[in-house]
Amino acid sequence: MYGLASGALPLGQFVARDGIIDLAWGHPDPALLPIGGLQRAANAVLARYGADALGYGYPTGPGPLIAWLCDHLGAIDGRKPDPEAVLATAGNSQALDQVATILTKPGDSVLVEAPTYHLAVRILRDHPLNLVPIPSDEDGMRVEALPGIMRALRRGGAGLQANGGRSGRPRLLYCVPTFNNPTGASLPPERRRQLVEFAAEAGIVIVEDDAYGELAYDAPRPPSLWSLAPPGVVVRLGSFSKSLAPGLRAGFLTADAAIVERFRESGQLDSGGGVSHFSSLVIAEFARSGDYSANVARLRAAYRERRDALLDALGESSRPALDWRRPGGGYFAWVALPAGTDARVLLRKAEAAGVGFMTGPSFYAGPIPSAATGRIRLAFTRYGPEALIEAGRRLLAVLDLAAG
């Protein structure tokens, strides 16, 4: 149902490999996608708006989506946006690419967490931008390191121009502060406050990738950086890929109205109108009927159970040689292997034993710290609890840590 269409032409991104429970993919379980509800919403949209649903859309997004988003974010986040501070996007990948187009010039520096979402690195490098890593600890970005990094950049520190760009004041700081990819960590409140203060003072725009904010398992989500910051400091990217369905290619951003205006005036929106117009209307319909909130509640329950199934299975090891923090939300567990184990060597053996994962070094834009070679990222969303328990057993067996 997902993967190859009839004939040889692919339909989806996921590639199944026989016999492998592949925890490398940060994808939803196809069985959890709300097909019936979206079908009803699409029919209702076509009946209600007719040709207006299929024409070019308003550049910043259709009114019904923007109005619902303002109410929804007012209810779940620290601050309600004004409609002119919201822009419909085609998901966080497109939005990040467009942010880089509008707010940077080739060769500018961009601060990124280390580790960070590996495909954001690809998008930023496409522009091309000079990526400057900020170290992290188990709570996320080490915000106190930022002034030192800025000083080194001003001096043109050789290590900080590793990608060959021109240095100088960074334009952007890209981060995933809530249920991080790959670590699962969320930045504590004090660091959030310090981070927005630093950016406001330094004149750097924070790009807050909030792809996982809705998927909180143990407590309400922390307030976004956007909701804590003075106007103009944060562009928050929200996606419907994780809370609804990635194939809709839809998301939104919240930012200062003046920044949204710069997007509105861009050639892309002038030419094509609002991105993902039809999907945005379908999502607004789905949300107004109450289905969106119900869907998020269902995903939270399912993924909480899966997170626990996988980590409890890993906890069954013969000795406590693996280490992790149970993530409070999102898709991923970031697991430390027994001392001296190289994740890249382990991966070959693990795949032969029927389990896949992403290795720690994949998530660094700059130098790879030695501890990262002993880390793996496990996605617990695509498979049900039984498969995850089996994946955990296979991993322990390959590591020679199986109990009994």
Residues in contact with ligand PLP by the rule CB under 6 A: 26, 91-93, 117, 176, 181, 209, 211, 239, 241, 246, 251
CB of 206 to ligand PLP, least distance (A): 14
- Asked if 142 and 176 count as a contact pair (C-beta separation under 8 A), the reply is no
Q: Which is nearer to ligand PLP, 92 or 167 (CB)?
A: 92
What does each C-alpha distance from 107 to 11, 74, 97, 225, 364 come to in angstroms? 36, 37, 15, 26, 19
Report d(CA 365, CA 173) in Å as an integer. Answer: 13
Structure tokens at 7: 């004939």
- Asked if 103 and 81 count as a contact pair (C-beta separation under 8 A), the reply is no
What does each C-alpha distance from 156 to 124, 162, 257 come to in angstroms? 21, 11, 34
What does each C-alpha distance from 215 to 52, 210, 295 come to in angstroms? 32, 10, 11
CB of 205 to ligand PLP, least distance (A): 17
CB of 175 to ligand PLP, least distance (A): 9
CB of 209 to ligand PLP, least distance (A): 5
Residue 49 φ/ψ, nearest 5 degrees: -100, -15
Q: Which is nearer to ligand PLP, 69 or 313 (CB)?
A: 69
Q: Which is nearer to ligand PLP, 91 or 354 (CB)?
A: 91
Q: Which is nearer to ligand PLP, 330 or 374 (CB)?
A: 330
Q: Which is nearer to ligand PLP, 64 or 330 (CB)?
A: 330
Taken as a whole, the chain contains a residue count of 404
Number of CB atoms found within 10 A of residue 43's CB: 12
CB of 257 to ligand PLP, least distance (A): 23
Report d(CA 258, CA 240) in Å as an integer. Answer: 24
Structure tokens at 178: 């809530």
Residue showing tokens 């509105």 = 264
Q: Which is nearer to ligand PLP, 236 or 393 (CB)?
A: 236
Q: Closest residue to ligand PLP, Cβ-based?
A: 91
CB of 194 to ligand PLP, least distance (A): 22
Cα diameter, the chain? 65
Peptide bond into 115 cis (omega under 30): yes
CB of 245 to ligand PLP, least distance (A): 10
Q: Which is nearer to ligand PLP, 250 or 396 (CB)?
A: 250
Q: Which is nearer to ligand PLP, 251 or 360 (CB)?
A: 251
Q: Which is nearer to ligand PLP, 245 or 313 (CB)?
A: 245
- Asked if 242 and 207 count as a contact pair (C-beta separation under 8 A), the reply is no
What does each C-alpha distance from 106 to 109, 204, 264 come to in angstroms? 9, 16, 21
Q: Which is nearer to ligand PLP, 25 or 324 (CB)?
A: 25
CB of 246 to ligand PLP, least distance (A): 5
CB of 251 to ligand PLP, least distance (A): 5
* Ordered alpha helix ranges (H), 265-323: 267-272, 277-288, 291-314
Report d(CA 302, CA 331) in Å as an integer. Answer: 11
CB of 280 to ligand PLP, least distance (A): 13
Beta strands 251-254 and 234-239: pairing type? Answer: antiparallel
